[in-house]
Amino acid sequence: MNSTQRMTTDAKNASDASARQPAGVDGGLEDLGQKMLGNIQDALALSRKLERVLESVHQKMLERNITALEHSLETQIQLLNMLQMNGALREHYLKPLGLSPDQQGMSHFFSLVNQQPANASTVNRQALNKYWVQLEGSANRCQQINSANGRLLARLSASTRKIIALTFSGQTAATYDQNGLTVNSMAE
């Protein structure tokens, strides 16, 4: 079962479970903890894939490989959509507890899980926290790479505008040899 199928199945199961069992019941929190662990692991896998795609986009922009860039951008959009679905599912899981899927809501969720007696809990609290911290780190790296891609895109756009302006202005552009000396190829 892939991440998307699991998210859809989990959303239905969470809806069924919340109708049967009120939030805050130990069994409900146990089940929720297991679902959240799977959700966070899925989000981490998607986020790491997104990191690689964003790095690939950067390289393809540098190479000006438009065809490959378009393919990478399509993949990027698919991953972002999957991450959005994953986040919506996490929000769905937390809603019965009155929690939001942001940092504050997640902190409160972790404190609820940690308040459960250790011998009564099957949720691997350390794994839950570890994967969440890794997900936050991956999300931060994605933001950094995306910002770098935005800066690169702005430079490439400015360069393209200058080339177009020179092309239509009638001015001859200076060309340079391998030593950086000005060469006027038109005069030769």
The whole-number pLDDT of residue 165 equals: 82
2-57 pLDDT, tens digit each: 555 555 555 454 444 333 333 443 457 888 999 999 999 999 999 999 999 999 99
The whole-number pLDDT of residue 187 equals: 45
Structural domains present in the chain: 3-183 (1.20.58.300)
HEC string of the chain equals: CCHHHHHHHHHHHHHHHHHHCCCCCHHHHHHHHHHHHHHHHHHHHHHHHHHHHHHHHHHHHHHCCHHHHHHHHHHHHHHHHHHHHHHHHHHHHHHHHCCCCCHHHHHHHHHHHHHCCHHHCCCCHHHHHHHHHHHHHHHHHHHHHHHHHHHHHHHHHHHHHHHHHHHHHCCCCCEECCCCCEECCCCC
The whole-number pLDDT of residue 113 equals: 87
Structure pTM?
0.73
pLDDT mean by block of 10 residues, the chain; 188 residues: 53 43 54 93 98 96 93 97 97 93 90 78 82 96 96 90 80 71 60
The whole-number pLDDT of residue 185 equals: 54
The whole-number pLDDT of residue 52 equals: 98
